Structure 1
Amino acid sequence: MLDPKSNRLDYGDQLRPPAGYKYDVAVATTYSLDLNTILAVPVSLCFDDTLEGDLRGEKIALLEALEQLRGRVKIFFQQGNIPVPAEFNRLYALLEPFLAPIVPKADGGNDAFTSFHPKLWLLRYCEKANKRNKKYRLIVLSRNLTFDRSWDLAASLDGEPAVTINDSSEPLAEFLHSLIPHAKDFHPLAELAREVRRVKWDAPKGFRDVQFLPGGGAHIADPNERFGSPMDLGKKIDEVMVVSPFLDDRPPRVLTHFESCTIGQRFLFSRASTLDAIGSEALKKWSCYALNESVVLGEDYLEQGESQPHDLHAKLIISCAGKQVHWHLGSANATTAALGKLDETAPRNTEFMLRLTSTQELSPSLLLQQWVSEGGAGLFVPHVFKTGQTDSDENHATALRRLSHDLIAAQWKLCATVGEAVNYHLKLDVSPQIYLPTGFEVQVGIMADQHHFQPLASAIEWKNLKLTRISAFVPLKISGPGDIEKTLVVKADLAIEGGDTRVSAVITELIDTPEKFMNYVRLLLYRDSSKSQWIGADMDPRNAGLHELFGFDATEGLFEQLMYAASRHPEQLQRVGDLINRLQRLETTIPEQFLTLWKSFSPYARAPS
């Protein structure tokens, strides 16, 4: 079931439509995200392909995928939780409408210690032959939308509309509805919240009784409308397995509740550093395991450049009661912030968990066999405890967390005004004033120039910026006592004098040669263009694989493609027409021979019905 040697999940493959269907709309939630990861995801949605291959940089394939998805994807994330990219990409401007930042708030004012933490995708697909026929996919994960290499878990459920309301889908519908105030302009969200109430979901093989468990509600303004715990264990359980990278390091602990209601064995799988911070005495009632160091530091052992640790990030709780086994998997760690006190209070965080019910065949003993081997050769090994962190480390970490929350909760407003030589003057206003703890500093930059940061102030300015180098994403650097360093990115409110025409400007700069323009047109006309062909759109036509579609030298067959589109798929002509109009408004040179040919076909262009 979760054997790392055979049960591996391809993220991009899970987003691909079922056979005979095409992508329609999607909603995703995540605690953190990587801008380059978000750039790659549309390739899977639009071109029905995996995320393999070189998708870095400013590729026309990414531009086209983002253009196709405009108004059809919304990703909710915790404000600030974007790592600073190594390099600026002009396509980041196209991502801004896709992202909805959320500043979490706690009931009682302890906002710095609450998180918007759910991780899921809900996708709707339409049948190619009849778009009124729909299918749905829900992916519940422990992984954020990043290129992180940690060990994670995910469950993918496919569903189809039913005639009657499915009561078990009601919690999912309520969770979607709770997101609407954070993206009022994204109308498909309300549609999805209504539609999922009638969706019947197929449980993964070996399971039954799918139950959706949203938890907490750090994103919900009214505390009375928040959810309870995303955990439903029952009163007494015979055996429990907890897989959680992070745990309460002081009482009250969620693990204490598990101890009190579990009659038999208790297995705990976590990170070595997390277990050390709690100590062997507090965990003496548990059999503790940590990820094998040879797995965590595998890239170091292989001497790979820019190695990253492969530590545990999966969240899973398996409980056995009689012949019944429950699997809870999703975003929640085994902490009071994520689960609440289970029998008393709701959690501070927003979480989303999936409960799957099975029989004894999928009890903890199955995973013990797959994960733990004699002689220390397994994925996990029995943990040997070491000394944890000091009080001074903890105090600095608390100060850093409070400062980080003050930064993401502030109002960040960018205003771009036209300066000299058609370039722009950019001004950033931050309110209210942010007070820094003793020994801490914050510096502010812009995505397009990460070599020059300025100290945080209520107003900061940059001059002489090209339109395509303006971004609503503002990188911040935090430094503090000792070796404390942290970077984060906040999404600011951006206003541009004369209107936001960055998308058109980016398209003009990327399609900067007649060859690239013709490649783009050919691929727009070809109904089944593949990912590899779109990636090749930045190349010379003879080296991009396009000759297979349009003749040996990639110049033949264009007239035939226009004829076919005019008779069968006029919406493809409409997309070509939109591209031409946009480039002409920006006074971009378009090959005259093509414009002459286009005059005969432009009357047949029609928007999709």
Structure 2
Amino acid sequence: MLEPQSRAALTELLKPPTGFELAHAVGTTFTLDLASALAVPLSFASHRLSAQNDTLGVLDAIRRAADRIDVFAQAGELSMGTRSDLVAFLEPMIHPVALRRGLFHPKVWFLEYQAGERTTYRFLCASRNLTADRSWDVIVRLDGQPASEHDAPPAREANQPLVELLRRLPHLAVNPLSAARQARIDALAERCETVTWERPEPMKAVSFHVFGVPGSSEPDLHGKRALIVSPFVSDEGLRMLRSRVRTDTHLVSRAESLERLQPASLDTKLSTYVLDEAATYSGDDEDVDGTRAIVPPGERLAGLHAKAVVVDRFDGAHVFLGSANATDAGWQSNVEVMVEFVGPVGKVGVEATLDALGDLKEAYHPSGGREPDAKEEAERKLESFVRGLASARFSVRVFPGCPHALRVWADETGASTLARQADTYSVRWHLLTRPDLGSSTFGSAESDAVLLPEIPLADITPFVVLVARDTLGNERKTIVLARLLDDVDTRRDAIIARQLTDRAAFIRLLTLLLELSGGWQPSSTGAGGAGFFGAGGLEDATGVFEALVRAVGDGHRGLSDARRIIDYLRHHDETAVLPDGFDELWDQVWSAHLELTGGRE
């Protein structure tokens, strides 16, 4: 346990077992980077990308999985790394969360996979957010199966905290989920009630603790000695975690967190450590294509983000892993998840874990008592203001035209938040797709909403970037997901069309759509375009003709999806990316499809 040599990438842990495919995934995170979130659907893709910059492959993976993935994140903590048009396809699966008290801080995944009539489950509990952060983290993976009739009652009792969290998630979202999504999550929660989880060696017991939801209870932390690993620590949180530890406590944290502890907390029974900056890990032997790695080549893991508590007791070592920092908020007011294992003290206890950390840690002797400076305090207040503002509901209405226009406004909660803090904070905003289009005001109703004219169809988006600034010049950005009213049916088709820069790109897209329909399996030479259609036309049409014919009447959506994109290209005079002779071939194929399906698409 907690051995730095035992590394795993989140995308690999999400990947279905051999022979299975994703049925449903529900994830939670505190901070969410939309660019990082694009990698999640790739974990469930049945095919591997030919290159890490395979935009159309990423697009196809997202489209296939979008209706089976839900991700909940703290409102005010959404960001965007590398800009990508493809985040438009994440819109249905992203759900910002706002709490009346505390923060939404769990990092878990509920995963259900299917292979025919067989179903299997996986639960991940991590300290890692869904971002590109390169810190040291911990993650728990538990694989499970539907319980037998005999094992169902104890499974239901053990899983109750997780099931309660899963059922509660839709009700925490800023924007209401669709009835279909909420029903799917409720159904998944019901099935998860009676899952039995495999225990990793050498653990003899596993249980779950969910903080900040009705019915949650504080774990039993009494024992002889303890080890606490936490990047953030407070005096009250440390006191609570140590209150029932009879002898020594070891604390691994960040230097700045240790220095903020009061000297009274740094007694002789507490040993403190930080990570040795020289003992970072370089990921030169790993690849990064969104499917296999967390650490890009040449980059290094640095900084502590893991959260763990190990307590030695007479019945074994109790190991708590998950999202809660060693703070009073982490264990008393936030929504958090910790998994508790019980295992042999000699293998997973305090001393064994310290030995496993080895040279990664080094002793640190803080003086304590350092107070946050004025800038840090101002930044903390700014963060709180932004989260409060992002907890409001924003709306974007589309007005048809060529190009279109948008009206953008906030609800009364957002407007009043801005009004109350107008002397302290200024806010400007813009569309995620168009940093040049925005305003410094929000209407509190549609009647006084800001109007943005001349928006190309592919630039319409419900993602709005808020930029808040305080009187000291500190600035903080976040992204809110607005309600998109009167959306245009072909908006995502326009985004796809924008990715089709040449004929090879169109062929690549058609290849992926036919894979989806089961109509064609790519050869080693066919995916790139030349050799599938030939260099520019239909000189070598046998492969594509057979692929399209196989897809006719097959009952899947691949051919219908292809038709929608082709119709969009034709309607908007963007047919230059279609190979020569393709129009005639396509019309014949689609006519045959309609005939075989009785006119049903």
Q: TM-score range by the shorter chain?
A: 0.7 to 0.9
Hey, what's the Cα distance between the residues in 1 that align with 2:436 and 2:31? 24
Hey, what's the Cα distance between the residues in 2 that align with 1:214 and 1:148? 24
1:487 to 1:509, Cα distance in 2 relative to 1, 3 A: same
Q: Residue 259 of structure 1 corresponds to which residue in structure 2?
A: 242
Q: Residue 101 of structure 1 corresponds to which residue in structure 2?
A: 96
Hey, what's the Cα distance between the residues in 1 that align with 2:598 and 2:75? 40
What is the deviation of 1:587?
Answer: 3.4
Q: Secondary structure at the match of 2:90?
A: helix
Q: Residue 252 of structure 2 corresponds to which residue in structure 1?
A: 269
1:222-241 paired onto structure 2 within 5 Å: 226-229=214-217, 231-234=218-221, 236-241=222-227
Hey, what's the Cα distance between the residues in 1 that align with 2:300 and 2:421? 31
Hey, what's the Cα distance between the residues in 1 that align with 2:587 and 2:382? 62
The one-letter amino acid of 1:557's match is G
The one-letter amino acid of 2:259's match is D
Q: Residue 349 of structure 2 corresponds to which residue in structure 1?
A: 363
* Identity across the alignment (%): 25
| Contact in 2 for aligned 1:577/1:605 (Cα 8 Å) | no
The one-letter amino acid of 1:427's match is V
Could you report, residue by residue, the CA deviation over 1:482-504 in whole angstroms, capped at 9, with x for unpaired residues? 4522211111112136x453222
Q: Residue 66 of structure 1 corresponds to which residue in structure 2?
A: 62
One of 571, 577, 586 as aligned partner of 1:595 = 586
The one-letter amino acid of 1:502's match is R
| Contact in 2 for aligned 1:562/1:601 (Cα 8 Å) | no
Q: Residue 293 of structure 2 corresponds to which residue in structure 1?
A: none
The one-letter amino acid of 1:202's match is E
One of 327, 335, 345 as aligned partner of 1:350 = 335
Q: Residue 428 of structure 2 corresponds to which residue in structure 1?
A: 443
What is the deviation of 1:602?
Answer: 5.2
What is the deviation of 1:153?
Answer: 0.5
| Contact in 1 for aligned 2:281/2:301 (Cα 8 Å) | yes
One of 434, 439, 455 as aligned partner of 1:465 = 455
The one-letter amino acid of 1:139's match is L
One of 254, 270, 295 as aligned partner of 1:286 = 270
What is the deviation of 1:133?
Answer: 1.2
Q: Secondary structure at the match of 2:128?
A: coil
Could you report, residue by residue, the CA deviation over 1:395-419 in whole angstroms, capped at 9, with x for unpaired residues? 4244324312331122312222134
Hey, what's the Cα distance between the residues in 2 that align with 1:571 and 1:436? 56
Q: Secondary structure at the match of 2:3?
A: coil
Q: Residue 375 of structure 1 corresponds to which residue in structure 2?
A: none
Q: Residue 541 of structure 1 corresponds to which residue in structure 2?
A: 529
Q: Residue 577 of structure 1 corresponds to which residue in structure 2?
A: 560
1:583 to 1:534, Cα distance in 2 relative to 1, 3 A: farther
Q: Secondary structure at the match of 2:45?
A: helix
1:465 to 1:547, Cα distance in 2 relative to 1, 3 A: closer
Could you report, residue by residue, the CA deviation over 1:487-532 in whole angstroms, capped at 9, with x for unpaired residues? 11111112136x4532222223334644433332333334799xx9
What is the deviation of 1:275?
Answer: 0.8
Hey, what's the Cα distance between the residues in 1 that align with 2:404 and 2:462? 17
The more displaced of 92-101 and 585-594 is 585-594
The more displaced of 272-281 and 201-210 is 272-281
| Contact in 2 for aligned 1:17/1:48 (Cα 8 Å) | no
The one-letter amino acid of 1:488's match is T
Corresponding pairs, count: 551
Does 2:320 correspond to 1:313? no
Hey, what's the Cα distance between the residues in 1 that align with 2:50 and 2:278? 26
1:84 to 1:69, Cα distance in 2 relative to 1, 3 A: closer
1:502-581 paired onto structure 2 within 5 Å: 502-511=491-500, 513-526=502-515, 540-542=528-530, 555-562=541-548, 564-565=550-551, 570-572=554-556, 574-581=557-564
The more displaced of 329-338 and 429-438 is 429-438
Hey, what's the Cα distance between the residues in 1 that align with 2:47 and 2:220? 39
The one-letter amino acid of 2:305's match is H
Q: Secondary structure at the match of 2:561?
A: helix
Hey, what's the Cα distance between the residues in 1 that align with 2:517 and 2:551? 12
One of 470, 486, 489 as aligned partner of 1:480 = 470
1:557 to 1:18, Cα distance in 2 relative to 1, 3 A: same
1:174 to 1:280, Cα distance in 2 relative to 1, 3 A: same
Could you report, residue by residue, the CA deviation over 1:446-504 in whole angstroms, capped at 9, with x for unpaired residues? 1123256632443433221112112111112222254522211111112136x453222
The one-letter amino acid of 1:242's match is I
The one-letter amino acid of 2:382's match is L
Q: Secondary structure at the match of 2:570?
A: coil
1:14 to 1:424, Cα distance in 2 relative to 1, 3 A: same
Does 2:398 correspond to 1:416? yes
Stretches of structure 1 lacking an aligned partner (at least 5 in a row) = 107-113, 218-225, 341-347, 373-377
Does 2:229 correspond to 1:243? yes
Does 2:33 correspond to 1:34? yes
Q: CA RMSD in A?
A: 3.5
1:69 to 1:76, Cα distance in 2 relative to 1, 3 A: same
TM-score (norm 2): 0.83
Hey, what's the Cα distance between the residues in 2 that align with 1:334 and 1:425? 45
Hey, what's the Cα distance between the residues in 2 that align with 1:86 and 1:558? 35
Could you report, residue by residue, the CA deviation over 1:525-573 in whole angstroms, capped at 9, with x for unpaired residues? 34799xx989999x95239xx799xxx998542344345556xx9245x
Q: Residue 16 of structure 1 corresponds to which residue in structure 2?
A: 15
1:415 to 1:296, Cα distance in 2 relative to 1, 3 A: farther
Could you report, residue by residue, the CA deviation over 1:166-192 in whole angstroms, capped at 9, with x for unpaired residues? 221222212111123343530221111
Stretches of structure 2 lacking an aligned partner (at least 5 in a row) = 284-295, 444-448
Could you report, residue by residue, the CA deviation over 1:301-322 in whole angstroms, capped at 9, with x for unpaired residues? xxx9998882111111111111
What is the deviation of 1:197?
Answer: 1.3
